[in-house]
Amino acid sequence: MKKLIALLLAIVMVMSLAACGSSSNNETNPPTDGDNENVSTEMTAEEKALAEAEIRYAIGLLFDRNYIVESVSQGGELPASSFVAMGMTDADGSEFYQNAGNSDDYIGYFDASAEAFEDNYAKAYEILTKYYEVDEQGMLVNFPTLNYIYNTNESHKAIAEYLQGALSGVGITMNLENQEWNTFLNTRKNGDYSVARNGWLADYNDPISFLDMWTSTSGNNDVQFGKGEHASVAVYSLDLTDLGYDVKVENGTWAETYDVIIGLIKTCTDFETRYELMHRAEDLLMSTGAIVPIYFYTTTFMLDDSVDGFFYNPLGYKYFWKTTVNGGTESLPVCIGSEPDTMDPALNSAADCATMISHLFAGLAKWDQDANGNLVIAPDCVEELVEGVENEDGTVTYTYTLKEGLKWSNGEPLTAKDFADSWQRVIDVVGDYEYMFDVIKGYSEGKLAVAALDDRTLEVTLNNAVAYWNELLAFPTYFPVYNAANVDEAWATDASTYVSNGAYTMTAWEHSSVITVAKNANYHAADDVTMEEIKFYLSDDDNNMLTNFKNGSWLEIDSVPTNEMASLKVEYADEYYTIGQIGTYYVCWNVNEPLLPQE
């Protein structure tokens, strides 16, 4: 009987949302025939942590991901039941996400198929009524009011309204708060929220790029694992003795378990063991219920058919330095996002800003296309991407020779010391991506084993062999910064003080309006750069973007209004693109947010 009522509720809820455009005023009642128990007010901190993890998991089961991708986001996304995204390979060559979780009946950590929604909903209600009393209409009583934050975007708003409606259907009130992008990032980072929209794109093609961000010391750990009250919560277990490690922890803290397994993954050189460790890390991560995957990313953008030479990578970066417009190379106006929080490669953590930074800076390596148009990691500031030499202690040393005559955009020489100082600076200022340097020897002591042997020779020693090392070298955090040893932190806020070394140099920054970059004559490969100028217009208003695309003011835009998608696919068939990305759209909880009944 319970399943039948739950199914009717699910159908009514979906019909209501479809009719009302993701209504947040769903008045349909859930089943009322489940047993419920009063939650003990004498719970220990550990008992509360386990209960709240189960509550978060249950709420994740209430969301109909198929409805979201088909009727709300409408961007060709696929429902997700794991955090590590589609597109990451496993040890045996299959996709990592296809081997996630421990069920024989479905992939991942819950069944995300359309047919499973009835059972998921019933299971969620059964769990929730273990902890909350219900009123005569079956609504949960005394559930704390939630606050869901999201950044300005019509699709994010529509999804937020759907989630709000789904929770109201069981008596949970969740208020919605739209925040400007920079404020939104800092609110999450500081843990000043209860629930938030989130998304993550791979930084390189290895599952660890989805997992190492959640260590207790990571700057990208918005969930606050191992921080605040959660730092002392000891409910996690880790047994790796079957893999040959002397690690067996029962009721340990996040630092004693998750941080430990991530550290082992970073030093493991056995291929199959390393992937098994990553699966167990995701098991531990998903056991918290604090990560609620919604769908695997695609990206929708519009590109005027007059533009040639554009390319992109699956990590979300777009490249315009090889473009022409109707054969001309004078200027290209695009809009890939709103005002960046920072244009400092060491401090940025946003993909749209990383695209701009990738045009302004050059690292040891870069994403490029070969003669056949295939994506490759190619040398940039170095003569070649050399093989590492393994040392007797298992460390691996790379010795790079910089190209001759490298210069900063101001004409000053760029040397190997600039790279060494810049990488060390990331450690010293503790940027969000500081942990990406933990593969380098000396990281744990705060002094990287990176040395400039002379102006053109850079020596780097890693703790062990790292399969994705070249991809790290192409990542913006590994780009050099001018005068890194003594840099004034305000340098990256104004075009007049902005010094770079890449294909372009910044000529103007009209804040909240447009960043203009011009071809850098001092870039070592300036002859390969076709477009003389790129104007990065700054907006997060989908309707504004579309208007400017339609009238020809902007020739590429990174987002369109959801309610326009169907017509745009037809009207602009040759200029409307939906492409896959290695990323996951998810809801994240502040793990320190209390969720048990309020008296």
Task: Give the DSSP letter string of 373-389.
Answer: S-EEEEESSBS--PPPE
| Nearest partner of 407 among 532, 474, 500, 528, judged by Cα | 500
pLDDT above 70 as % of the chain: 93
Contacts of residue 29, defined as CB under 8 A and 6 or more positions apart, other chains included, come to: 9, 137, 138, 139, 169
Give the separation between CA 285 and CA 214, rounded to whole angstroms: 8
Average pLDDT, the chain: 92
Rounded mean pLDDT of 318-346?
A: 96
Q: Are 568 and 576 in contact (CB under 8 A)?
A: yes
> What amino acid is encoded at 118 in this protein?
E
Q: Cα 215 from chain centroid?
A: 15
Paired residues of 369 in beta bridges: 375
CB 208 within 8 A of CB 435: no
Mean pLDDT for 337-354 is 91
Instruction: Check pLDDT > 90 for residue 31.
Output: no
CA distance 563 to 565: 6
Per-residue pLDDT, averaged over 530-559, amounts to 97
At 2, is the pLDDT very low, low, confident or very high (cuts 50, 70, 90)? very low
- Report d(CA 74, CA 72) in Å as an integer: 6
Q: Structure tokens of 461?
A: 């020693």
Helices 117-131/2-20 angle, 10° precision: 110
Amino acid at 380: D
**Architecture of the domain spanning 2-22+48-228+284-296+584-589:** Roll (3.10)
What are the strands, taking DSSP E only, across 59-208?
Answer: 78-79, 146-151, 174-179, 195-201
517 burial (CB, 10 Å; 0-12 / 13-18 / 19+) is: buried
pLDDT at site 41: 63
Integer Cα distance of 525 and 221 in angstroms: 37
Tokens 């002859």 -> residue: 527
Residue found under tokens 């477009």: 531
Write down the pLDDT at residue 69: 96
Full-model pTM: 0.84
pLDDT at 119: 97
Side-chain-facing half-sphere of 443: CA atoms under 13 Å: 21
pLDDT value of residue 39: 55
Predicted pLDDT of residue 3: 35
Contact 112, 64 (CB under 8 A): no
Q: Residue 472: which H helix or E strand, with range?
A: helix 469-473
- pLDDT class for 333, splitting at 50, 70, 90? very high
Domain map (residue ranges) of the chain: 2-22+48-228+284-296+584-589, 305-540
pLDDT of residue 12: 34
Per-residue pLDDT, 350: 85
What b/e string do you get for 120-145 counting C-beta neighbours within 10 Å, with b at 16 or more? bbbbbbbbbbebbebeeebbbeebee
In this predicted structure, which of 272-276, 295-299, 426-430, 460-464 has the lowest mean pLDDT?
426-430
Distance of CA 436 to the CA centre of its chain: 14
Average pLDDT of the segment spanning 90-104: 95
How does DSSP classify residue 321? T
CATH placement of domain 305-540:
3.40.190.10
Hey, which bits of 380-491 come out as E strands? 389-390, 396-401, 450-454, 457-462
Phi, psi of 435 (to 5 degrees): -65, -15
pLDDT of residue 182: 87
Bridge partners, 231 (sequence order): none
pLDDT band at residue 17 using 50, 70 and 90 as cut-offs: very low
Does 305-540 match 2-22+48-228+284-296+584-589 at the fold level? no
* Helix 154-168, helix 542-550: angle, nearest 10: 150
Q: Which residues pair with 389 in a beta bridge?
A: 397
Q: Please, what is the end-to-end C-alpha distance for the chain in angstroms?
A: 31
Residue 34's pLDDT band, with cuts at 50, 70 and 90, is very low
CA distances from 238 to 212, 252, 266, 287, 470 (A): 16, 8, 17, 12, 31
Q: How far is CA 67 from the centre of its chain?
A: 23
Instruction: For 132, list phi and psi in degrees, rounded to 5.
Output: -125, 140
Rounded Cα–Cα distance for residues 4 and 447 (Å) = 62
